[in-house]
Structure 1
Amino acid sequence: MTEVTRPPLTADERTQLIGWLDLQRSFVRMKCRDLSPADEHRKVLPTSPLMTVAGLVAHLRWNEYSWFQLNVAGVPDTGQTPWTDDGHVDAEMFVDDVPLAQLLDEYDEECARSNAAIADLSLDALEQGPPSMRAGGGAASLRYVLCHMIEETARHVGHLDIIREILDGHTSYTE
């Protein structure tokens, strides 16, 4: 059984929020551990062909970038994102030719950049990105973004859990 580290029971709000997000982030790599190369990009849901292990990891990586770099920090998009005005809404999930190990490394690096981007910000700090990049058109607080990213990451960890069980029977925290 894999040991998981949860945030302290009595920590301050910031420590709790980042701790819960980091915990969910750690589950992403855990759910991908020892997955066969044949299953990294296997499509198991006929109505959702982009919902693969690799596709979900890529989606989570770009969500980290979008929310923390573009929205919170207000870093200008220099065209490195997979999205274009006339492109597919889920363009970040088109990764059939990208190895899962690379996607996981990129995800870990993005999570580290996310934490660095918010290290000195108050939970009340508002998004700095242009209005088109902001949640619902208005500026959200860092507190809101952290809560959203906990929800977003946990939801997709659940997807990874289900897909992994379909692929090879691997469940929960067992090795």
Structure 2
Amino acid sequence: MRPPLAADERTQLIGWLDHQRSLVRPKCEGLGEIDAHRKLLSTSPLMTVAGLVAHLRWVEYSWFTENLLGTPDTGQTPWTEGGHPDAEMFVDDVPLAQLLDEYDAECKRSNEIVAGFSLDDVERLVVRDAGRASVRYILCHMIEETARHLGHLDIIREVLDRVNGD
């Protein structure tokens, strides 16, 4: 569901992000495990339906739990110092249903975290030389990130089984 046409900034930002998030599961419906993990792009072998869902889950975690809340990574994430930069996408042995459930749970946690911050608050964790991102920036970035990967899911589905979405 799209956010109201006339609403405050916070409602609009969270509404658009929630709308993008709500499209991930439908884009995966009806896929078997083989197709969910099928590598179609020789130049981007990690870009599978399952890999994209896993990536979206960990992007949520990274921006909201690690960066915004300042939760240190004590080994709970799939990436490690000096490890593969896309380690979160190595999910060949993880069922798509599990990945989707984890994504939904992460999105719920992200919304709970954001509820405790104003749009002008900034990340507690310093992750870049350019400074700390505001909650407003994070929400805009997550809308862009999620929408971009929804497009990837559309393309992969169309190649797999000619199914595409809105």
Is TM-score (shorter-chain normalized) higher than 0.5?
yes
TM-score, normalised relative to structure 1: 0.92
> 1:121, 1:154 → 2: CA distance?
23
2:110 aligned partner: 114
Distance in 2 between residues matched to 1:162 and 1:44, nearest whole Å = 10
Could you state the TM-score of these two structures normalised by the residue count of structure 2?
0.97
TM-fit CA distance, 1:36: 2.1
In the other structure, the counterpart of 2:136 is 143
Q: Deviations over 1:34-56 (max 9, x none)?
A: 11222010011111000000000
Establish whether residue 64 from structure 1 lines up as the match of residue 60 from structure 2: yes
Q: 1:160 aligns with which of 122, 128, 153?
A: 153
- For these two proteins, the number of residue pairs brought into alignment is 166
Query: Who is 1:77 aligned against?
Result: 73
CA RMSD of aligned residues (A): 1.0
Residue 168 of structure 1: how far off its partner (Å): 0.4
Gaps of 5+ in 2: none
Which sections of structure 1, spanning at least 5 residues, go unmatched?
A: none
Percent sequence identity over aligned pairs: 71
Counterpart-to-counterpart distance in 2, 1:135 and 1:69:
16
Deviations 1:81-113 (A, max 9, x none): 011112101000000000000000000000000
- Partner amino acid for 1:30? P
Read off the aligned partner of 2:142 and give its amino acid letter. M
Give, in whole Å, the separation in 1 of the partners of 2:22 and 2:163: 17
Give the structure 1 partner of residue 91 of structure 2. Answer: 95
Offset of residue 120 of structure 1: 2.1
Segments of 4+ moved more than 6 angstroms = none
Q: Tell me the amino acid that sits aligned with residue 152 of structure 1.
A: E
What residue number does 2:82 align with? 86
The CA deviation at 1:136 is 4.7
